[in-house]
Amino acid sequence: MTGHPLIRAVKPLVEAIGATLIPIDELRDTDLVLSWKDESVVGVRISLEDALAGMIGTVEEELGGALPGLSREGKQAAIRMLDERGAFLLRKSIEDVADAMGVSRITIYNYLTAIREQPTRGERS
């Protein structure tokens, strides 16, 4: 199922959001259908349960290590990246990220508070 150019193009994105590529003959009503030149090529199944794990995996790859092994600065960068990607909009994500990182929920809340209080580029203090 990797030969089609559409599949090759969307596969990294699908994996990054924790979704799954589904053959056309296995689609459910809730799956998205991706088409190429009016031909249904592949389906995408999005599971919010898998989305957070996918985001964590992507962040670990980008930062070059598993969350528990990152330095304090690395963990803060991971939290910033996850926050920018909407990870903390998911139910129980604070607890799940804290468990994955090997820190307390309070630590995650503290990192988020510090990140969100920092001025963005172009703002003056």
Walk along the chain (125 residues) and give the pLDDT tens digit of each residue.
668 999 999 998 888 777 899 999 999 999 999 999 999 999 999 877 778 888 899 899 999 999 999 999 999 999 999 999 899 998 899 999 999 999 999 999 999 999 988 876 665 55
Edge-to-edge strands, sheet with 32-36: 20-22, 39-45, 32-36
- CA 100, distance to chain mean position in Å, is 14
Read off the pTM: 0.68
Tell me the CA distances in angstroms from 113 to 10, 73, 109, one per residue in order: 34, 15, 6
Q: Give the start-to-end residue ranges of the domains of the chain.
A: 5-46, 52-117
Residue written as tokens 């799956």?
31
* Cα angle, residue 31 at apex, residues 87 and 78 outer, rounded to 5°: 15
The encoded tokens of residue 20 equal 């799954």
Question: Which run of H or E residues covers position 34?
Answer: strand 32-36
